[in-house]
Chain A
Amino acid sequence: MNFELSKEQVMIKKMVQDFAENIIKPRAIEIDTEAKFPEDIFKQMGELGLMGIPFPEQYGGSDGDTLSYALAVEEIGKVCGSTGLSYAATVSLGASPIYYFGNEEQKEKFLKPIAQGKTLGSFGLTEPNAGSDAGGTRTTAVEDGDDYIINGEKCFITNANYSNTITVTAVTGKDNRGKNKISAIIVPTDTDGVTINSNYDKMGVRGSDTCEIVLDNVRVPKENLLGDPEKGFKQFLHTLDGGRISIAALGLGIAQASLDKALNYAKERTQFGTAISKFQAIQFKLADMAMEVELARNIVHKAAWLKDQGKPFTKEAAYAKLFATETAFRSANQAIQIHGGYGYMREYEVERYLRDAKLLEIGEGTSEVQRLVIARQLGC
C-alpha cells in the first residue's frame, strides 16, 4: 500500500495548478457570465500537452497515466468548472474511444490531432429521446456502397463546435435476437448534412460548448466505423466508465475549491465579536466538508489507479463519480451558506461552484444511473 504520488504526478499537479491559477482563474467569472468558450486557453492547454496526458507519444500523447490526468482535471476544476468539463470531455469522450477501439489508421488520423490539442474531441450519444436509456438510440446509419448514410439528432453534446470530428452512436442493424445493434462512427464535422447549434442557455458550466446536432443524410466512409460493429454498445459503456473518473475528478476540484474558500472566509469573517470559524455550527460544516473531500479524493485516485493497473474499475468509477459529484454539490452549497449573503453574489464565486456542480450529477450518467451501475455490479 502506498498513497504517495510519483515525482511526475507531483510535477504535473503543480504545473497544472500554476497554469490554472495564473491563466484560467482570472477569467473564470467572465467565462461564466458571458457563457463564452475560452478558445485561447484551450490552445495553451494543448501546447502544454494536457490533452494527451493518458495517451502514448506515438499518438501525440504525453505517455502519462489516468491518475495524472485526474490530477490535471481536479486542478482545472478547482478554478473553472466550464473549462474542466470541456477538458474532461475532449480527453475522456473525444479521444479515449478512438484510442481504445480505433485501428492504427483512425488513431493516426483522428486521435493524434486531439491529443496534440489541435482540435477538441466530442462524443455524441445523447438524443432527445435517449438519455439515461442510451439503448433507445434512434439515429440510424444505413450502408450504401462504401459509405454509411446517417440520419438523426443528438442533444447536449459537449465541444462539437470546436471539434473536427464527432464520434456518434447510431443503429446499424439488428442482431439475431432482433435487438438494435448500436455502433460508433467518426463523423467529420465539415461533412454535408451536419448542422451544429449551441443555443442552450445553461444553469452552469456556461462557458463549456454544448451543442445540438442534426444529421441529415450524412455520408461517411465505412472505414470511419469505430471498433467492432457488433460491440458498439459495450464500447461506449467502457468509454463512459473512464469518463466517470474524470467527471469525479472535476467534482473533487469543485469540492476542494468550496472548502478552501469557505475555510478562508470563516477565519476572516467576524460576527458577534469573533471569527465565525469559532462557532461550532460553522466548524461542523467545515469538518464534514474536509472529510468528504478527502474521501472523494481517495476513491477518485483508487478508480484511476485500478484503471492504470488494468484491473476492473467499473464499480469504483461509479462510486467515485457518484460520491465526488454529490460531495461537490453539498460542499458548494455549504460554502454559500458559510459566506452568508456574500455567498449569494457572483463575485464570491461559490454560487457558481454550486451551479457547475449540479451538471456533474447529471452528465455522463445521472446519480441514479450510477446507483444502477453499482447495484448491477453487486449482482442485483
Chain B
Amino acid sequence: MNIYVLLKKTFDTEEKIAVTNGQIEDDGAEFIINPYDEYAVEEAIKQRDEHGGEVTVVTVGDEDSEKQLRTALAMGADKAVLINTEDDLEEGDQFTTAKILTAYFEEKEVDLILAGNVAIDEASGQVGPRLAERLGIPYVTTITSLKIDGETVNIDKDVEGDIEKIETSLPVLLTCQQGLNEPRYPSLPGIMKAKKKPLEELEIDDLDLDEDDLEPKTKTVDIFLPPEKEAGKVLEGELQDQVQELVSLLKNEAKVL
C-alpha cells in the first residue's frame, strides 16, 4: 500500500507564546509535530505493518521542518518529503498548501492519505479535505478507528462525541482525531536509523508552480493573544441580594443576558 501522511510543524501551544506586532515570535517558541498529525503517523505505520507497503511523510514548510520529518522517520516512516517554500513564498493559507500538495500528488499512485484533523496553530481543518477534493478522492474527517480489508475501508468517525460508522473504499484521505491510537515514542534504534532514510527536498519550481498560482485567498488581519484572565469577584451578603447583584452584573457588566 502507498501510504502518505500530511504533516505540519507547529509551535507547542503548551509552551509560552509571545506575539509582537501581529506576529508570533519564532525565537523561544518550541516547535513540534502537530499532535493530530502524530496520530496520522502512528496510524500509517500500523497500517503498513499490517498490509505492507511504504509510508511517506510530506510537509510543506521550511528548512527547520526537517526536524519534525526526521522524528516521523524515527517513529518508523520510510521516506520523507520536504516541500520548502521558505525562499519562494512570502505568505500562504490553506488554499496555498492544498494547491502545492495537489501538484505533488498529481503524479503519485496513492492508496491512503492520512492527515491530522486540525493543526493546533490555525485549527482550520481544511488542508486535508481541500486536497481530497482536488484529487477527486473521497475523504472522511475526525476518524477514531480504521479497518482496511482489501479495497474496503471501515471507519469510525467522531461526531461531537457520538460515533458514525462509515464504509468507503481506497484510495481515500482521512483526517485523524484523538482516540484513534496512542502515538509511539521514537525508539533509540529508530532515531539512529532515521538519518539514513531518504528525505527528498523540493521547491515549488520542481512542481511547476510559481508564486502567482499560490497567492493566498485569505488575509490575516491581526494575531493577538486572548486577554489575560482577571481575578474573579466574590459576592457577599444575603443570598437574595447576591442573586440580584449577580443578575445585574451579568446584564450590565458582562452583557451576556
Contact = CB atoms under 8 A, between A and B. Distances in A.
Interface in A13-64: 14-15, 18-19, 47-50, 52-53, 57, 62-64
A275 interface: no
A7 interface: yes
A7 B189 contact: no
Contact of A7 (B185, B187, B195): B195
A53 B188 contact: yes
Contacts of B187: 47-49, 62
B194 interface: yes
A8 interface: yes
Contact of A15 (B67, B186, B195): B186
Nearest to A7: B70
Given A48-B185, A48-B187, A8 B192 contact: yes
B35 to A, nearest CB: 12
B74 interface: yes
Given A62-B192, A63-B192, A64-B192, A11 B71 contact: yes
Interface in A76-106: none
B103 interface: no
Contacts of A49: 187-190
Interface residues of A, number: 19
A187 to B, nearest CB: 28
B188 A50 contact: yes
Contacts of A64: 188, 192
Contacts of B190: 49
Nearest to A52: B188
B192 A10 contact: no
Interface residues of A: mostly helix, strand, loop or mixed?
A: helix
A11 B191 contact: yes
Interface centre among B67, B70, B192 (most CB of A within 10 A): B192
Given A7-B67, A7-B70, A12 B185 contact: no
26 contacts: A7-B70, A7-B195, A8-B191, A8-B192, A10-B67, A11-B67, A11-B70, A11-B71, A11-B191, A12-B188, A12-B191, A14-B71, A15-B188, A15-B191, A47-B187, A48-B187, A49-B187, A49-B188, A49-B189, A49-B190, A57-B189, A62-B187, A62-B189, A62-B191, A62-B192, A63-B189
Interface of B: 67, 70-71, 74, 185-192, 194-195
Lowest 8 A-B CB distances belong to which pairs? A49-B188, A62-B188, A49-B187, A48-B187, A63-B192, A11-B191, A62-B189, A49-B189
Given A7-B195, A14-B71, 12 more contacts: A12-B188, A12-B191, A15-B185, A47-B187, A48-B187, A49-B187, A49-B190, A53-B188, A62-B192, A63-B189, A64-B188, A64-B192
